[in-house]
Amino acid sequence: MAPAFEDETASETNFSDVEQLHKSKVTVVGSGNWGSVAAKLIASNTLKLSSFHDEVRMWVYEEILPSGEKLSEVINQNNENVKYLPGIKLGKNVVADPDLEHAVKDATMLVFVTPHQFMEGICKRLVGKIRGDVEAISLIKGMEVKMEGPCMISTLITDSLGINCCVLMGANIANEIAVEKFSEATVGYRENRDIAERWVRLFSTPYFMVSAVQDVEGVELCGTLKNVVAIAAGFVDGLEMGNNTKAAIMRIGLREMKAFSKLLFSSVRDSTFFESCGIADLITTCLGGRNRKVAEAFARNGGKRSFDELEAEMLQGQKLQGVSTAREVYEVLSHRGWLELFPLFTAVHEISTGRLPPSAIVEYSEHTPRLNLLEGSAQYC
């Protein structure tokens, strides 16, 4: 018979193994500016929370740096995303992985944070490659426009992969969060409050306060549509129209955001627009952020340089969301006969594509009948 202390040791080892099996494993799908910041936030918490594995995997779309080195290897060597978040340490428990299938293997919590136009392809690659019990959250602003109508990214993830997907949006300029300046965010969930609270714990820090609301579509549409309004705000800045004009554009933009959201999803809550994902995100994106910045440059050049050209010059590989979202929103409005109801959204797209000059961002305000139609949309709110 073996000594009692050996049985106890074996029992402790078995218990430890079982405990490890029940810990959540997190993978961040995306490694741009915001994806790297998300990985940093999460990695600081997985070290503290006993219900999570320490290691956080981060899928990196492989790039070759000017030095000839691979981005993923440099991230792992330096603990820093030298291209998209230079000067910020991610946490030694962040592991960059250029192999998408390997990065998500055995993960129980997936954080999606890539440009929205890449998500359909990513989801196709993940079919059959993830656990059936995985939980997901999308930090992605944007939507897919299909023949049957608009599809939110969280819905695309759920429908493609058969998994539950929450969303996280808020007044979150990534570089400010990276240096730990105070910020807030909102998690949107459908039914399971416990899952939402798990995401809240995973992201929350003393400088990043997260709350949860039961309104996935409302939270996600706020995060998506504010980029269109930010483009309009950038036009105003580029034309030096002043703060009064910019405030008017933001107010009209918020009204169109709410009306559009309610027309698409009657379940959207009015209160959601007063969370961080709503008015707060709209304000910060119209005051700062890449969409406003590039739109300002577009207007200063009289619309003579394309957004694609300015994006390549100014953003070092990062992607604009506002212009593509404006196009997608325009497609929805045109298909459903709603263009007259949303003059600001319509003008942003037409200016972005060169059909109208940047100054048209305020000229539509003289067309009283169109604004009356917009006021009439309050019946849907």
pTM of the model: 0.88
Q: What is the CA radius of gyration of the chain?
A: 22
Residue 81 known to bind ligand: no
Integer Cα distance of 170 and 285 in angstroms: 10
- The one-character DSSP state at 63 is -
Question: pLDDT tens digit string along 236-295?
Answer: 999 999 999 999 999 999 999 999 999 999 999 999 999 999 999 999 999 998 999 999
Is 196 annotated in a binding site? The answer is no
| Residue 31 to residue 37: CA distance in whole angstroms | 9
At 209, the amino acid letter reads M
Q: What is the DSSP letter of 268?
A: -
A 10 A CB-CB count for 239 gives: 18
Q: What percentage of the chain's residues is helix, strand, coil (to nearest 5)?
A: 55, 15, 30
Q: What is the CATH number of domain 4-214?
A: 3.40.50.720
What digits encode the pLDDT tens for the residues 18-41? 456 689 999 999 999 999 999 999
Any known ligand binding at 15?
no
pLDDT for res 320: 81
The residue ranges of every structural domain in the chain are 4-214, 218-380
Q: Which residues are catalytic?
A: 226
246 in a known ligand binding site? no
Q: Which fold has domain 218-380?
A: N-(1-d-carboxylethyl)-l-norvaline Dehydrogenase; domain 2 (1.10.1040)
Q: Is 35 annotated as contributing to ligand binding? A: yes
Q: Are 211 and 184 in contact (CB under 8 A)?
A: yes
**Interhelix angle 322-336/290-300, nearest 10 degrees:** 80
Residue 261: is it exposed, middle or buried by C-beta count within 10 angstroms (0-12/13-18/19+)? buried
